[in-house]
Structure 1
Amino acid sequence: MEVKVFHLPLLLTRPVRKMRKPAASSPQPKNFLVIRGFLLLLLSCIAAKLSLCFSNIPSSLLTLSLDGHLNFDEVQHVAKDFGNQYQLLPLAVLHPKTVTDIAITIKHIWQMGPHSELTVAARGHGHSLQGQAQAYRGVVVNMKCLQSPIMQVHGGKFPYVDVSAGDLWINILRESMRYGLAPKSWTDYLHLTVGGTLSNAGISGQAFRHGPQISNVHQLEVITGKGEVVKCSANQNEDLFHSVLGGLGQFGIITQARISLEPAPDKVKWIRMLYSDFDTFTRDQEHLISSENTFDYIEGFVIINRTGLLNNWRSSFSPQDPLQAIHFKSDGRTLFCLEVAKYFNLGQTDTIIEEVERLLSPLNYISSTLFLSEVSYIDFLDRVHVSEVKLRSKGLWEVPHPWLNLLIPRSKVHRFAEEVFGNILKDTSNGPILIYPVNKSK
């Protein structure tokens, strides 16, 4: 990141003896003339810069008839994101009150033609990694302005919820849970907007069963690049529907979505276990996601033990065998953690223990490294937020995040692991390395 600081030069003069006040006809001191000339030059530069800034703003944007407003002054806060690697100042930030505000703005920019060189980017919670929600010398749309005051949750045989693209997933979870329902597929971190994750994919440990979040959408409302407001689904304007979902915002801006729901459980058995061999680790992951009766959540991550991460991840878990756990030593090896969860309701407390033991019995993890925890469904899904609070308190949240997401076919994953985990990252790693097993049919 390059930071440019503009400052005024400081004029230093030697201390002088107290002098008599010069007569009225005396010539002005040279220092005074220099300072006055400098101030005039400075004011001229500021005036010229302001004139240049306003000359870059198309006059037609200043007179758009909107219920919300375009802000041309306070734009610095949208020139950054979670990735914290790019800082691109836009020309303006649109704070819409209605979907129509966005449509009017985009239609106007489209009518201006390509010579205007104005770009548009939708910004939700700013969790993009490489400036995708920024628009250099363009217009950033603040999607949080469209958060729904009331979400429409519909029950029945095929329950769903209608939400704004600016709504956070954590708020959708809380609202739908009031009806005993919840979305089927999640991301690990819930303080993201609907429009943001649906423009990417939305993958977590439920994706092996339900597919990513984009596979659990019934209908969308989208504003196209021409400023048209269009309803689309798998049966209506299907090309637009499938292009926008996972389309990285290149085919339109999602403004509303209808999300599929399912009955929500009360509690979660949350389990972690370690492997020293990647082949065994992935074999067990593949076994679990291929079984009809299996865990509800299956994920994994890599532990480069020299980072000290080994003791951190298990602090909130209880070992099944405390004595064996005490004596376990990794000896600096790279380890692989299989993380699974089984959902249940309060009336199933007795049977869930037997069910978990049955599902664990064919797995080949290191026997002394089985750790268990029991939490509420909401606490399980919102688990990363706990880490966020801790990292923010230490100033470690708003730091650069050079993240990379890869889809690796089964035929190549072992070679990838051997090279990356065995050679490149064998000594240290400062960030999470997550492994999601998914079925490509989903």
Structure 2
Amino acid sequence: MAADSPSYFTIIMLLSRLMAFIGISKNTDIAPPPLSHDPSAIASAAKDFGLIVKTLPQAVLFPSSPQDIASFIQSNYNSSAPFTVAARGESHSVRGQAMAKNGVVVDMTSLNKNPSGIGIRISGDRTYVDLGGEQLWIDVLNVTMRSGVAPVSWTDYLYLTVGGTLSNAGISGQSFRYGPQISNVYELDVITGKGDFVTCSPSKNSDLFYGVLGGLGQFGIITRARIPLEPAPKGVKWIRMLYSDFSAFSRDQELLISKNDRTDKTALNYVEGSLLLNQASLDPFFPPEDHPKIGALITKYGIVYSLEIVKHYDDQTKPTVDKDLQQLLKGLGYIPGFLFEKDVTYIEFLNRVRAEEMFLRSKGLWEVPHPWLNLFIPKSGITAFNNGVFKGIVLQRNITSGPLLVYPMNRKKWDDRMSASIPDEEVFYTVGFLHASGFDNWKTYDDQNQAVLQFCQKAGIEIKQYLGHYSTKEDWIHHFGSKWNTFQQRKLQYDPKFLLSPGQSIFNNN
């Protein structure tokens, strides 16, 4: 019998628990939908994008409506032997965060995804869209753009669910100006760990509202989100500039994000930085004819820093966008002759990662382990991080593959009432080691990740992990810091049996 196959004892225990579950459900007004024990469904729910952790659930729930989820969770909560429960969208986690060992995985993608049903509404001076938690952001973009409007805050990759990104934070190069996605929500429908179906907002059931946003699925499953919309641009000016000096690179990033008033039409709309470490790190943005001179630059300096910016325009602002950009770029310290520009549609820019994904899929390089590490680093520690990690660990080990992002955000664009934990300083950086490895060497990358974390600890850099993976409850307490007591109280209130999102290993050592 294979090591991952359920034993006879396990099957007997499962049947016993199901009998208890069914016994409870008979006393409810609406019987929960049946759980699936199909081996292929269980195998699919046992893995995620990271392909590092494999955790078998006992069963998978395929709901056809939010009411199915509420009915199941309520019956499960009242059962004498309840399962742990994990909501799974596109499962873009990398350490099993959307898994439930010996529990039940709720496959959110089985809900009726109908992009044409995404409803745009206007109420007073507010334009917004109501979205199912299972909806993909790419569908949101395509549907809203037909009406000339769109959300303002995105992730770099759009084939993720609304509920999934809001449970974390949802960040990208727009965050410095518009805040993360969790700062752009009017209202939520949430099913708590007790099966209560709750509509919440800043003015209604606000404690649950703020808890769920960035709450890592600990307090409830998001089944609907009301997202504000603004007029969408027609196109974007997309620029990358190259730097050999980190001080100039970070100084210019911080200067550009300091102009962050949402109503300022002359400000940038997107700022992201990344590292170029070898010829393979050059993506199609850079003209092929310029690859040799960029490669020579990388050879000379070891690391080249790429600053990526975007300026939106519409029919009214198109005549002045180039002039506005020239004003913003004046005095920046990039290497002369290494500025590259494109003019593309808004959708082309936002969906830019999709082409790379399809290329990797065609080469069989997408479904491979992804030993990622994502960090928030206070501004005061970013120079030491560059010297000790980028110029030290990364260059010395010379194994980094995949994008390596580094860009700043403004703390004031985040709402501290929400669960998401960020550094205390007004400006902080996100650093993403977005590795892709082989199945036989992912631990080598993981060892590098651990070396990075150890460096930060020794250097006294108060980092926060984003999409975090901690091994102990004490680590989570340190992560949440002053928010821990509130986080724990919310757990006791909304999921008192500690059933939800066990894969995060916050209250459940999975």
Is 1:55–2:15 an aligned residue pair? yes
- Aligned residue type for 2:174: Q
| Correspondence 1:152-301 to 2 at 5 A | 152-155=119-122, 157-291=125-259, 293-301=266-274
- In structure 1, what is the equivalent of residue 408 of structure 2? 437
State the 1:347 CA deviation: 5.0
1:389 Cα deviation from its structure 2 partner:
0.3
CA distance in 2, matches of 1:210, 1:181: 15
Aligned to 1:363: 332
Give 1:287-366 correspondences, 5 Å limit. 287-291=255-259, 293-305=266-278, 308-310=279-281, 312-313=282-283, 315-318=284-287, 329-332=297-300, 333-346=302-315, 348-366=317-335
The answer on whether the counterparts of 2:277 and 2:298 sit within 8 Å (CA) in structure 1 is no
1:357 & 1:325 partners in 2: Cα distance?
24
Greater CA deviation, 387-396 or 331-340? 331-340
Asked whether the equivalents of residues 187 and 204 of structure 1 are also in contact (C-alpha less than 8 Å), the reply is yes
Aligned residues of 1:147 and 1:167 also touching (Cα < 8 A): no
CA shift for structure 1 position 5: 8.4
Could you list the per-position Cα deviations for residues 345-367 of structure 1 after superposition, in whole angstroms to 9, with x for gaps in the alignment?
24544322222222112211011
| Equivalent residue in structure 1 for 2:347, among 361, 378, 397 | 378
Alpha-carbon separation, structure 1, partners of 2:358 and 2:175 = 26
Judge conservation of contact 1:57–1:91 (CA < 8 Å) in 2. no
- After TM superposition, give the deviation of residue 405 of structure 1 in Å: 1.6
Tell me the TM-score normalized by structure 1. Answer: 0.83
Contact 2:21–2:79 (CA under 8 A) maintained in structure 1: no
Whole-angstrom CA distance in 2 between matches of 1:323 and 1:160: 43
Matched, 1:423 2:380: no
Q: Which has the higher contact order (CA 8 A, sep 6+)?
A: 2
Q: Report the CA distance between 1:109 and its aligned residue.
A: 1.7
Alpha-carbon contact 1:82-1:400 (below 8 Å) kept:
yes
Range that drifts further, 126-135 or 212-221: 126-135
The counterpart of 1:125, out of the listed 90, 93, 100, is 90
CA deviations on 1:369-411 (whole Å, 9 max, x unpaired) are 1111111100100001111001111111111111122111111
Secondary structure in structure 2 of the residue aligned to 1:133: coil
CA distance in 1, matches of 2:138, 2:34: 28
1:68 deviates by 4.4
> Are residues 1:99 and 2:99 paired?
no
Decide which of 361, 364, 373 is 1:404's aligned counterpart: 373
Structure 1's 51 and 226: CA in aligned 2 closer, same or farther, altered over 3 A? closer
| Aligned-pair CA distance for 1:317 | 3.9
- TM-score, structure 2 length as denominator? 0.73
The structure-2 alpha-carbon separation of the partners of 1:162 and 1:323, relative to structure 1 and needing over 3 Å to count, comes to: closer
Task: Quote the residue 1:110 is aligned against.
Answer: 77
The DSSP-based 3-state class of the residue aligned with 2:57 is: coil
Cα distance in 2 for residues equivalent to 1:287 and 1:84:
39
- Answering whether residue 34 of structure 2 is matched by residue 69 of structure 1, we say yes
Please tell me the residue identity of whatever aligns with 2:379.
R
Report the Cα distance in structure 2 between the residues aligned to 1:68 and 1:412, rounded to whole angstroms.
51
3-state SS of the aligned residue for 2:248? helix
Q: Supply the distance in 2 between the matched residues of 1:51 and 1:337 (Cα, whole angstroms).
A: 54
Distance 1:279 1:290, change over 3 A: same
Residue by residue, what CA displacement relative to the aligned partner does 1:152-172 show, whole Å, maximum 9, x if unpaired?
101463211000000000000
2:214 is paired with a residue whose SS is coil
Name the CA distance, whole Å, in 2 between partners of 1:241 and 1:394.
42
Report percent identity of matched pairs: 47
Structure 1 residues 323 and 390: alpha-carbon distance in aligned structure 2, compared to 1, 3 A threshold? closer
Counterpart residue identity of residue 70, structure 2 = A
Q: Which amino acid aligns with 2:338?
A: T
Q: Deviations over 1:76-110 (max 9, x none)?
A: 11111111111111111111112111111111221
How far is the alpha carbon of 1:294 from its aligned partner?
2.3
Post-superposition shift, 1:326? 7.5
Please tell me the residue identity of whatever aligns with 1:294: A
**For 2:33 and 2:351, how far apart are their aligned partners in 1?**
32
1:251 positional shift: 0.9
Sort the Cα spacing of 1:67 and 1:50 in 2 relative to 1 into closer, same or farther, 3 A: closer
Q: Following the alignment from structure 1 to structure 2, what is the Cα–Cα distance between the partners of residues 240 and 51?
A: 37
Shift of 1:329: 3.0
Match of 1:28 in 2: none
Instruction: Structure 2 unaligned segments of length 5 or more: list them.
Output: 261-265, 414-510
Give secondary structure in 2 for the equivalent of 1:250. Answer: coil
Contact 2:32 2:71 in 1 (8 A): no
**1:401 aligns to what SS in structure 2?**
coil
SS at match of 2:247: helix
Q: What does 1:14-29 correspond to in 2, within 5 Å?
A: none
- Deviation of the 1:322 alpha carbon: 6.9
Instruction: Tell me, in whole angstroms, the C-alpha distance in 1 between the residues paired with 2:210 and 2:61.
Output: 27
Moved more, 140-149 or 405-414: 140-149
RMSD over aligned CA atoms reads 2.5
CA distance 1:327–1:125, shift in 2 (3 Å): closer
SS in 1 for 2:407: coil
**C-alpha deviations, 1:40-96, integer Å up to 9, x for none?**
xxxxx99x5796365354214457554743212231111111111111111111111
2:417 alignment counterpart: none
Q: How far, CA to CA, are the matches of 2:294 and 2:71 in structure 1?
A: 64
Residue 439 of structure 1 and its aligned partner are, at CA, apart by 0.3
Once structures 1 and 2 are overlaid, which stretch shifts more, 339-348 or 100-109? 339-348
State how far apart, in whole Å, the 2-side matches of 1:294 and 1:215 are.
Answer: 19
The 3 A distance-change label for structure 1 pair 364 and 228 is same
How far off is 1:135 after superposition? 0.7
> CA separation of 1:339/1:66 partners in 2, compared to 1, >3 Å: closer, same or farther?
farther
